[in-house]
Structure 1
Amino acid sequence: MLFLSFPDSEPSRTPATIAASYFPVTADFFDRASYGRLRLAPRIDDAWLPMPLPSTAYDIGRDWSPRGREAYLRDALGLVAEHRPHLAGADILYLVADPTAPGVDADATKVVNLERPITVAGNELRRVVTLFEGEPPDRLVLAHETGHVLGLPDLYHRPGHPGGNWDRYVGDWDLMGSQFGMAPDLFGWHRWKLGWLDDHQVACPPVGGVTRHALRPLAAPPEPGVPPEAGDTRMVVVRTGPSEALVAEARLPIGNDRDLCTPGVLLYRVRSDVASTRGPIEVIDGRPDGSACHGRSVRPELADAPLDTGMSHHDPVSGVRFEVGEREPGGGWWLRVIRP
């Protein structure tokens, strides 16, 4: 994590105090989400690197012009290569701009994907996280951007007009949808892709049958000493097409979801043929006539989406039916899946 100052502003805070807004919060989030399999060990630089141009010269903004972005990265990475040779071996580079500089726009924070990898201090980088946050920064913003570094898509909707609904697809239910969400833990689908859930923890019901699953809470830490064959199902995946699946997982107010609004079995649809911000994942509203947690939820209509005991959902397209039974000993629910 490196810190960039500009000739048109004198930083009012030290790099260490700014870094404390991001760590250990970000590292703790991923430690819980990965069941301890991902460890973020940040190296925090202790000095400001002076950029050669004023902050207003880089055209910083959410829809950053290619000219401004290229100039910013060229100058920043040039400073890094010249003054920070100890970066060899780093996996992620966080570039933090002085939040008090007049040309810094907090809405511009993003991961820059490089068309061609660059070598900095002998280390090849394909992505760079550029942080332009104010003080304090947006909640869990660095965890969201780190999710992009790991290859996860944006799950929010980007409306084409002011006042549009950014949270229509997943509401509070995943960090990649909203870092302000009440239940920001990563979907089980993402954890599986990242290798944090093992195949034996994912049930895939066969075509033309009825199966019953003890669905343990997604966020519950693994039980030490329990062998895989003992059963630890965290997710049920029903493939419904060449690029589509329905997923069920148990969400409770624990871990990263401690502020969750409505516990239960959450259902969502995954589509691998849909791009980032276009709805590659959509939460299925198990209670379409209700809403919950107004004033706290980013989308109250989906805050009560999970199914509870005695509730069910029938997918009209695939014909798959999910029926939620009693609580299972691990804290989750028994789930019955009927697949035509």
Structure 2
Amino acid sequence: MRSTAAALTSLMALATTSLVAGPAEARTSSSSCALPRSPAHHSLGLDTWNTSYPKPDDGLDAVMVFLSFPDAVPRSSPARLAADHFPATSEFFERASYGKFTLRPHPRRDWVRMPKPSTAYGISRDWKPSHRSAYLRDALSAADRKVDFSRYDIVYLVADPDAPGVDSDATKVVNFERPMTYDDTEVRRVVTVFEQHPPDRNVLAHETGHVFDLPDLYHRPTDGKGDWDTYVGDWDVMGSQFGMAPDLFAWHKWKLGWLDSRAVRCVTRPELLTLEPVGAAPMPGGSLGTRLAVVRTGADTALAIEARSATGNDGTTCTEGVLLYRVRADAASGGGPVEVVDTHPRTGACWDRSVYPQLADAPLGVGETFTLAGASGERTRIEVADRTRTGAWTVKITTA
């Protein structure tokens, strides 16, 4: 499939076809491929926005509160811990959103003293609800004496990483069943940060994605011993914060409002189109071009097609090409809402760096073709014809 002969055959087939992309007004509206939002936690349906989450369509303010404990003397300053995450996290979202969203951090300069030792809260990944509630109640009550919560959209509670009861595996977003009220403001969720110094790479970008209603894309093994990265590998920070290509999928960017209808193509008939890399900056004049092609495959499912290259947040990727992935709007966070299609199932790549080498070579390269069969017998054929001088990818999509 990767041979020169295959590439020539592919290009000749495209050269002889009469297929051309029609004018913008003749294209099928992208809204016809916008899957409906389901009751699933962090559903990837995007016909409506869940208004209990802040939408990152302009700018949001985030306060960082640093918590110390009676059983430890902090060895790092709040300023040093804040620098572990910012400006890197803001820069990640600046690039991911094409400059449309600004995350403004407001780190406190002092420590907020917790009333109990760190070991009293039983901090762990699978936290007992009673211990977690006690921690959050104490932390927010202690912080309320110094913080005006009405000024902020996001709350990061950063624990002293050197306290003996702090477990770095417990960093997560906590959603309250009932909002807590401080300064006449409802606090619906907080990010509890228990990272060591220095922290995991991109960890706060991952957790902040949950604040914006994005799901976990990793697969948590039932016994805790299997591989976590079988669904998406390196290809999205919501799958792994250690990924080589951690930029958000174009589907996520569509959901968050960073891609509009002009950047998304709903494919219902054979089309030849040019895909700009997801991580590339806007073109001169601000245009994004086409960043996402979508084939609707069911009431709650779709096939997404996008280009990935070593630019922007994906600057450390070791493979480039056209990436295919299935989207399920009815799947909950952690339940496989996105699954990358491995177009090279017999090979892998980047064994020394990838979180899941089997998917590191998932994208299609120039001259390659891949066909997917649907549950009802429908077939979608994706053929990568060429790469332009500017780094975009020419792709032929045929549905039948």
Higher relative contact order (CA 8 A, sep 6+): 2
Instruction: Give the drift of 1:119.
Output: 2.0
Distance 1:250 1:273 in 2: 25
Looking at structure 2, the residues matched to 123 and 110 of structure 1 have their Cα atoms a distance apart, in angstroms, of 22
Q: Deviations over 1:60-111 (max 9, x none)?
A: 00000011000001101111222223x3220100000000101000000000
Post-superposition offset of 1:124? 2.1
1:325 corresponds to 2:385: yes
Q: Secondary structure at the match of 2:176?
A: strand
- In the other structure, the counterpart of 1:194 is 256
Return the letter of the residue paired with 1:338.
T
Q: CA deviation at 1:38?
A: 1.1
Q: Residue 283 of structure 2 corresponds to which residue in structure 1?
A: 223
Deviates more, 1:324-333 or 1:109-118: 324-333
Matched, 1:262 2:319: yes
1:226, CA displacement in angstroms? 5.4
Aligned to 1:184: 246
Name the structure 2 match of 1:241: 298
Query: Hey, what does 1:67 align to over in structure 2?
Result: 130
Contact 1:80 1:120 in 2 (8 A): no
Q: 1:175 pairs with 237, 261, 266, which one?
A: 237
Counterpart of 1:335?
Answer: 395
Moved more, 323-332 or 256-265: 323-332
Match of 2:105 among 42, 47, 62: 42
Structure 2 distance, partners of 1:96, 1:233, is 39
Counterparts of 1:125 and 1:66, CA distance in 2: 18
SS at match of 1:320: strand
The correspondence of residues 56-205 of structure 1 with structure 2, limited to 5 A, is: 56-85=119-148, 87-205=149-267
Identity across aligned pairs (percent)?
Answer: 57
Q: Tell whether 2:343 aligns with 1:286.
A: yes
Partner of 2:11: none
1:265-300, CA deviations, whole angstroms, 9 ceiling, x for partnerless residues? 000000011111111000001111110000200000
Match for residue 73 of structure 2? Answer: 10
Match of 1:312 in 2: 369
Structure 2 unaligned residues grouped into runs of 5+: 1-63
Q: Distance in 2 between matches of 1:58 and 1:224?
A: 53
The secondary structure found in structure 2 opposite 1:237 is strand
Per mean C-alpha deviation after superposition, the further-off stretch among 328-337 and 156-165 is: 328-337
Which residue pairs with 1:251 in the alignment? 308
Count of residues paired in the alignment = 334
Q: Which amino acid is 1:79 matched to? A: A
Contact kept? 1:217, 1:330, Cα under 8 Å: no
Contact 1:171 1:181 (C-alpha < 8 Å) held by counterparts: yes
Please give the alpha-carbon distance, in whole angstroms, between the structure 2 residues aligned to 1:127 and 1:313. Answer: 42
Query: What amino acid is aligned across from residue 179 of structure 1 in structure 2?
Result: Q
Deviations 1:158-181 (A, max 9, x none): 001243010000000000000000
User: Matched residues in 1 for 2:167 and 2:273: separation?
Assistant: 48
Residue 224 of structure 1: CA displacement? 3.6
What is the CA-CA distance between 1:156 and the residue it aligns to? Answer: 0.2
Summarize deviations over 1:98-150 as a string: whole Å, max 9, x none: 00101000000000011112222232221100000111111110110000000
Instruction: Structure 1: state its 5+ residue gaps.
Output: none
Q: Distance in 2 between matches of 1:332 and 1:108?
A: 40
Length-normalised TM-score, structure 2: 0.82
How far is the alpha carbon of 1:329 from its aligned partner?
Answer: 4.4
CA RMSD, 1 decimal: 1.2
